[in-house]
Amino acid sequence: MTGLDAVRAWRREHAPEVLAGFADLLALDNVTGDVPALRRNAAEIVARLRARGVEAAAVGPDGVAPLVIGRIPGRPGAPRLGVYVHYDGQPVTPADWATPPFRPTLVGPDGAEVPFPAAGGAVEDGGRLHARAAADDKAPVVALLAALDAVAAAGAEREVELVLCLEGEEESGSTHLGELMAAHADRLAAEAWLICDGPVQQGNAPQVVLGVRGFTDLELTVYGPARELHSGHYGNWAPNPALELARLLASMKDGAGRVTIDGFTADTRPPSATEQAILDAMPPVEAGLLDRLRLAAAEVPGSRLLDRLMLPSLNVRGLRAADVGPAARKVIPARATASIDIRLAAGDDPARMLERVRQHVRDQGFLVLDREPTAEERRSGPVARINARVGYPAARAPVNLPVVGHLLDLASRAAGEPAITLPTLGGSVPLHHFGEVLGAPTVILPIANPDNNQHAADENLRLGNLWYGVDLFALLLTTPWRP
């Protein structure tokens, strides 16, 4: 029997107790920001790690959800990899859930609730465990604990040392992650960090993703008359700020959907030949997406989604000027505001990007301020108020990073089908901390099913994906690797 066969035999036999342990962990409410609740979660995870002989501690100042740091030693001289998971979850609206978010519920492949299996009972891979954080992101914690048990039961040697960083405030912006990492950097040294979060590919194929986009955002307000005016008495005479804003926004993109802000992609690192080859080899999804989303064409007609994710994006995420619908009044609005987010690609700098937007607005003839304009300033010419939040940069590890091929091999073996690699996710996670604070590259290694209802009601983990995670961590621990 090979090592993987032994792990699989162990987890089949012990599935009921793994699920019971998972349910107990999910029954601990973990809404992000609820520090006392998150401390209970951290204490439970520390206890479970220590029960398996893993050095573990919850660290951090009072009033902050702690970072759980752990070390799973390997044989002497084993290379060291980091595993990042977060144990906090998104807020819940229980009324929207079919079953209470913190009463973990097992559901069969047909969607009907089933009892948790008794010892020796079997569970179908297509079944799902429903609870907040079942997928995002307690699943990797439970998979890793089960893998430790399975590896110990098989008597296999640990060929890799793992250092663990389990965060408790990912869902509220990782405010303290950088400083907590810096304070404990000596314990967090690793060849590379595996970010175990997010879903695998659509269709449930395993994937290893090399990066994320960065993020920054701003609010842009332009001004009309000092107060809303009667549109009959003043219409055609007083300038309308909604129209001014529309013109200003329209000046930021051309008719073909390309951003026209000067220098917008000047710092963007273009895909390497290998990255482009990976993108080109991915099966096209665009026709199906346009159909499902009822879209006539992509913003840049004919473009491929994955290619567009390699570039920074400029997105108007909201607009406001007076009111619409039943609340609409016959007025010329006094101001108009757009809320804009910018996803940053590798190479882009958040502060520089915001300055390019400000400069573009200046170039359109506006006085740009970061506060309300005075009466004199409004009288002097077009004024725009821009309030920006400097976000964080993208992270993108090179495809030829030694650990990538290793992880693709392990993920393929664990899943029984070839793992896919992608240069970046479209979304944003502050992975730059790992590079800036720890000097280590990051690779995203998800286990959850893509239809897990992450952040929404009825979040769930498909059990087959939990077992994939157990097999994957067991292989990670027991497969020899040289950086």
Binding site for Zn ion (CB under 5 A): 136-137, 197
Shortest Cβ 16–Zn ion spacing (Å): 27
CB atoms inside a 10 Å sphere around CB 167: 24
Using CA atoms, how far residue 306 sits from 72, 284, 310, in Å, is 36, 9, 7
Shortest Cβ 135–Zn ion spacing (Å): 8
CA 63 from centre of chain: 24
CB nearer Zn ion, residue 136 or residue 169 = 136
- Torsion region of 302: left, alpha or beta (phi above 0 gives left; psi -120 to 50 gives alpha): left
CB nearer Zn ion, residue 221 or residue 428 = 428
Shortest Cβ 59–Zn ion spacing (Å): 21
CB nearer Zn ion, residue 49 or residue 133 = 133
Shortest Cβ 46–Zn ion spacing (Å): 20
Rounded Cα distance between 300 and 9, Å, is 51
Shortest Cβ 173–Zn ion spacing (Å): 12
CB nearer Zn ion, residue 30 or residue 478 = 30
| CA proximity to 150, closest of 24, 56, 14 | 14
Shortest Cβ 212–Zn ion spacing (Å): 12
Shortest Cβ 412–Zn ion spacing (Å): 24
Q: Cβ(261)–Cβ(314) under 8 Å?
A: yes
| CA proximity to 70, closest of 42, 34, 30, 28 | 42
CB nearer Zn ion, residue 123 or residue 180 = 180
- Torsion region of 381: left, alpha or beta (phi above 0 gives left; psi -120 to 50 gives alpha): left
Shortest Cβ 86–Zn ion spacing (Å): 6
DSSP characters over 239-269 = --HHHHHHHHHHTTB-TTS-B-STTTTTTPP
CB atoms inside a 10 Å sphere around CB 380: 11
CB nearer Zn ion, residue 197 or residue 275 = 197
CB nearer Zn ion, residue 175 or residue 274 = 175
CB nearer Zn ion, residue 178 or residue 373 = 178
Nearest 5°: phi and psi at 21?
-65, -40
3-state secondary structure of 315: strand
Shortest Cβ 172–Zn ion spacing (Å): 12
Q: Cβ(477)–Cβ(162) under 8 Å?
A: yes
| CA proximity to 384, closest of 406, 412, 365 | 365
- Dump strand ranges (E) for 66-160: 67-72, 80-86, 105-107, 128-130
CB nearer Zn ion, residue 121 or residue 173 = 173
